[in-house]
Chain A
Amino acid sequence: MARLLFTQQLARFTSVPQVDTEADRLRAALDSAFDINPLLRGYVLDEQGHLRENVVVFIDGRRSTDRVRLDDPLRPDSTVHILQALSGG
């Protein structure tokens, strides 16, 4: 299963679960984390469901390519890091 790892910077504001998911697309994987902590959604996505402009996602070491659809594919053994971008600091 793909593993989602959220930056601990987020732990200042809300709980950040480590999530293992069978989802094969990024958005579905994120949704599985938001199911555990609904508050987390608003920190990672904006109200239009887009990746916040100063949040960045790496899938197996490569930056995700689409910030709107979030349809990057995941492998069963993917590791997904959800991080704060330096642009927002």
Chain B
Amino acid sequence: MHDRAYLSTRKGLFELQRKAAGWELGPVHFLGEPVSITLADARDGAVYAALNLGHFGVKLHRKDAGADSWTEIAAPAYPPKPEDSSDTVEWKNKLIWALEAGGVDEPGVLWAGTNPGGLFKSRDRGQSWELQRSLWDVPQRSEWFGGGYDAPGIHSICVDPRNSAHVLVAVSCGGVWRTENGGDSWALSATGMRADYMPPELNENEAVQDPHRIARSQGSPDSLWCQHHNGMWRSGDNGHRWEEMTGVPVSNFGFAVAAHPHDGNTAWFAPAEADQRRIPVGAAMAVTRTSDGGKSFTVLREGLPQQHCYDLVYRHGLAVSGDGRSLLMASTTGGVWVSDNAGDSWRTVSTTLPPVYAVCFG
């Protein structure tokens, strides 16, 4: 059971600590600075914080286990753009949108997903980074486009705990991609998804899908969940084929999904009304949970605001701890809620924090 969690916000990195009376706000790091994502690396206890400074660009800091202070380390940087390139995308790191540890058998390996769509790998705990040209140079990247941002971005990186060379990444908007050789080559892995925002003839084009978030069950790794722009999908075969979950209560639109750490049939979603109205349905906050692989869902509201609530949960705004019982959710308007019973009931930690980009236990 985790006793610490991190909130990456528009105005700093806020720690949460579990006390006898419940979760409380703890130390604040980088107060005033935008923190786009945080990684608590369970392999060695290090914490990584990605900053997106309004004036001075993307930065990355690491705090080693037991250390009191942060050290600035290298931020992923794009190589020079060839002068004869026809690529309309600027080769500049605008945002670290995903930060994940490699497998337990590859200490020091980190993955970073960025906007405008570059995937980076570090083999030395973030001291240096290398753009994965094998993905950056796929011909289909010319079909990718931005979702929410001007340029496309990688927000989900799912390392297979059975084989660290098998990695799945998700791009908004550019589909789902898989490597089975540590990043030497990549192939699309979005079969079954559907993009209703495209002309009909392109609905099933895998390279233009907008998977808002993908989460993998660590203990049942063939089970993957996707909150997509056009609905909710599940894969039971490690992403080779995706099946839409239909008849979902509340709404099938949203951004966040959290996968149960052991039970491949259980996941949580944070629904919002629709693309064109990104608020809780009926201005009442809800989480939906399935325990049968998406065949049915339970709507969870106890302890969540049910009147005049306009909080949106971003794609990294919902997390479950390793025990499958503790949940953490935070919103664009500074609401933070925790549950210690798998979402059956929630307790408010704060309603006044800065906009929260991402949450994680650690």
Contact = CB atoms under 8 A, between A and B. Distances in A.
A10 B56 CA distance: 8
Contacts of A55: 55-56
Interface string B44-83: 0000000001111101000000000000100101111100
A50 to B, nearest CB: 8
Nearest to A49: B80
Nearest to B56: A43
A42 B54 contact: no
A43 B51 CA distance: 12
Contact of B75 (A14, A42, A44, A85): A42
Contact of B78 (A14, A48, A89): A48
A47 B92 contact: yes
Given A39-B72, A47-B93, A52 B55 contact: yes
Task: Say what secondary structure dominates the interface of chain B.
Answer: loop
B55 A48 contact: no
B310 interface: no
B91 interface: yes
A21 interface: no
Interface string B281-297: 00000000000000000
Interface string A50-69: 10101100000000000000
A47 B120 CA distance: 14
Contact of A54 (B55, B59, B75, B90): B55
Given A39-B72, A42-B75, A48 B81 contact: yes
A27 B183 CA distance: 37
A46 B55 contact: no
Contacts of A42: 56-57, 59, 75, 77
Given A39-B72, A46-B92, A52 B56 contact: yes
Contacts of A89: 54-55
A48 B92 contact: yes
Nearest to B80: A48
Nearest to B91: A48
Classify chain B's interface size: 10 to 19
A46 B80 contact: no
B80 A88 contact: no
Interface string A4-16: 0000011001100
Contacts of B72: 13-14, 39
Interface in B90-123: 90-93
Contacts of A88: 54-55
B55 A84 contact: yes
A43 B75 CA distance: 11
Contacts of B53: 13, 43
A36 to B, nearest CB: 17
A54 B54 contact: yes
Nearest to A47: B77
Nearest to A13: B56
B91 A52 contact: no
Interface of B: 53-57, 59, 72, 75, 77-81, 90-93
Given A9-B55, A47-B78, 16 more contacts: A13-B56, A39-B72, A42-B56, A42-B57, A42-B59, A42-B75, A43-B53, A43-B56, A46-B92, A46-B93, A47-B77, A48-B81, A54-B55, A55-B56, A85-B55, A88-B54
17 contacts: A13-B53, A42-B56, A42-B77, A43-B56, A46-B93, A47-B77, A47-B78, A47-B79, A48-B81, A52-B55, A52-B57, A54-B55, A54-B56, A84-B55, A88-B55, A89-B54, A89-B55
